[in-house]
Amino acid sequence: MSAEAQWAVLADLETRRRQLAEDVVSRIKAHIGTSPAVLFMKGTPDFPQCGFSAQAVAALRASGVNSFHTVNIFEDPELREALKKFSNWPTYPQLYVGGELVGGCDIVLDMHKSGELKKVLDEAGATA
Protein backbone atom coordinates (compact mmCIF):
# COMPACT_ATOMS: atom_id res chain seq x y z
CA MET A 1 0.00 0.00 0.00
CA SER A 2 1.39 3.38 -0.97
CA ALA A 3 1.93 6.15 1.53
CA GLU A 4 -0.93 8.10 -0.07
CA ALA A 5 -3.28 5.14 0.34
CA GLN A 6 -2.22 4.72 3.97
CA TRP A 7 -2.91 8.39 4.66
CA ALA A 8 -6.31 8.08 3.00
CA VAL A 9 -7.18 5.10 5.21
CA LEU A 10 -6.04 6.98 8.32
CA ALA A 11 -8.05 10.06 7.33
CA ASP A 12 -11.13 7.88 6.79
CA LEU A 13 -10.68 6.25 10.19
CA GLU A 14 -10.35 9.65 11.85
CA THR A 15 -13.54 10.85 10.13
CA ARG A 16 -15.40 7.77 11.36
CA ARG A 17 -14.05 8.25 14.90
CA ARG A 18 -15.29 11.86 14.92
CA GLN A 19 -18.71 10.80 13.64
CA LEU A 20 -18.99 8.18 16.40
CA ALA A 21 -17.96 10.74 19.03
CA GLU A 22 -20.57 13.20 17.74
CA ASP A 23 -23.20 10.45 17.76
CA VAL A 24 -22.56 9.50 21.38
CA VAL A 25 -22.62 13.16 22.47
CA SER A 26 -25.96 13.51 20.67
CA ARG A 27 -27.26 10.48 22.57
CA ILE A 28 -26.08 11.96 25.88
CA LYS A 29 -27.81 15.27 25.13
CA ALA A 30 -30.97 13.45 24.07
CA HIS A 31 -31.07 11.57 27.38
CA ILE A 32 -30.48 14.76 29.37
CA GLY A 33 -33.35 16.43 27.53
CA THR A 34 -35.91 13.68 28.19
CA SER A 35 -36.84 14.68 31.74
CA PRO A 36 -36.23 17.41 34.32
CA ALA A 37 -34.24 14.84 36.34
CA VAL A 38 -31.93 12.33 34.65
CA LEU A 39 -29.74 9.85 36.50
CA PHE A 40 -26.93 8.04 34.73
CA MET A 41 -26.42 5.05 36.99
CA LYS A 42 -25.16 1.52 37.34
CA GLY A 43 -28.22 -0.68 36.94
CA THR A 44 -31.83 0.46 37.23
CA PRO A 45 -33.81 2.13 40.02
CA ASP A 46 -35.38 -1.20 40.95
CA PHE A 47 -32.10 -3.14 40.59
CA PRO A 48 -29.17 -0.81 41.19
CA GLN A 49 -25.82 -2.48 40.68
CA CYS A 50 -23.84 -0.36 43.12
CA GLY A 51 -24.52 1.16 46.50
CA PHE A 52 -23.90 4.72 45.29
CA SER A 53 -26.52 4.40 42.56
CA ALA A 54 -28.97 2.95 45.08
CA GLN A 55 -28.37 5.88 47.45
CA ALA A 56 -28.88 8.44 44.67
CA VAL A 57 -32.18 6.81 43.68
CA ALA A 58 -33.30 6.80 47.33
CA ALA A 59 -32.44 10.50 47.69
CA LEU A 60 -34.41 11.37 44.56
CA ARG A 61 -37.43 9.41 45.72
CA ALA A 62 -37.24 10.90 49.22
CA SER A 63 -37.11 14.38 47.66
CA GLY A 64 -40.50 13.83 46.03
CA VAL A 65 -39.55 13.26 42.40
CA ASN A 66 -42.63 11.99 40.55
CA SER A 67 -40.56 10.36 37.83
CA PHE A 68 -37.06 10.61 36.55
CA HIS A 69 -35.28 9.23 33.53
CA THR A 70 -32.48 6.78 34.18
CA VAL A 71 -29.75 5.45 31.94
CA ASN A 72 -28.10 2.16 32.83
CA ILE A 73 -24.50 2.89 31.84
CA PHE A 74 -23.71 -0.82 31.68
CA GLU A 75 -25.95 -1.09 28.59
CA ASP A 76 -23.90 1.40 26.54
CA PRO A 77 -20.11 1.23 27.02
CA GLU A 78 -19.48 4.05 24.51
CA LEU A 79 -21.85 6.36 26.36
CA ARG A 80 -20.35 5.33 29.72
CA GLU A 81 -16.88 6.45 28.63
CA ALA A 82 -17.98 9.53 26.68
CA LEU A 83 -20.13 10.87 29.53
CA LYS A 84 -17.06 11.12 31.77
CA LYS A 85 -15.50 13.53 29.26
CA PHE A 86 -18.78 15.31 28.47
CA SER A 87 -19.47 16.05 32.14
CA ASN A 88 -15.86 16.26 33.30
CA TRP A 89 -17.01 13.96 36.11
CA PRO A 90 -15.19 10.61 36.43
CA THR A 91 -17.62 8.54 38.48
CA TYR A 92 -21.18 7.26 38.53
CA PRO A 93 -23.96 7.91 39.28
CA GLN A 94 -24.32 11.35 37.69
CA LEU A 95 -27.47 13.39 38.26
CA TYR A 96 -28.64 16.04 35.81
CA VAL A 97 -31.45 18.40 36.80
CA GLY A 98 -32.86 20.89 34.33
CA GLY A 99 -30.18 19.88 31.85
CA GLU A 100 -27.30 20.68 34.21
CA LEU A 101 -24.97 18.32 36.04
CA VAL A 102 -25.70 18.36 39.76
CA GLY A 103 -23.01 15.84 40.68
CA GLY A 104 -22.46 12.36 41.95
CA CYS A 105 -23.66 10.43 44.96
CA ASP A 106 -21.91 12.46 47.68
CA ILE A 107 -23.20 15.77 46.34
CA VAL A 108 -26.71 14.40 45.83
CA LEU A 109 -26.78 13.04 49.39
CA ASP A 110 -25.43 16.28 50.87
CA MET A 111 -27.99 18.29 48.91
CA HIS A 112 -30.76 15.95 50.04
CA LYS A 113 -29.76 16.30 53.71
CA SER A 114 -29.69 20.11 53.45
CA GLY A 115 -32.97 20.33 51.52
CA GLU A 116 -31.21 21.86 48.52
CA LEU A 117 -31.94 18.83 46.31
CA LYS A 118 -35.70 19.22 46.75
CA LYS A 119 -35.42 22.93 45.99
CA VAL A 120 -33.46 22.30 42.77
CA LEU A 121 -35.87 19.53 41.74
CA ASP A 122 -38.89 21.75 42.48
CA GLU A 123 -37.43 24.59 40.40
CA ALA A 124 -36.86 22.20 37.48
CA GLY A 125 -40.42 20.86 37.69
CA ALA A 126 -39.35 17.36 38.69
CA THR A 127 -41.51 17.06 41.81
CA ALA A 128 -45.25 16.84 42.35
Please state, in angstroms and rounded to a whole number, the distance separating the CA atoms of residues 105 and 125: 21
For the domain 3-124, what is the CATH code?
A: 3.40.30.10
pTM of the predicted protein model:
0.85
Q: Domain spans of the chain?
A: 3-124
Average pLDDT, the chain: 91
Q: Is the dihedral of CA 38, 42, 44, 46 positive or negative?
A: negative
Task: Give tens-digit pLDDT for 51-83.
Answer: 999 999 999 999 999 889 999 999 999 999 999
Q: Is-contact 87 101, C-beta < 8 A?
A: yes
pLDDT score, position 3 = 74
How do 69-72 and 37-41 pair as beta strands?
parallel
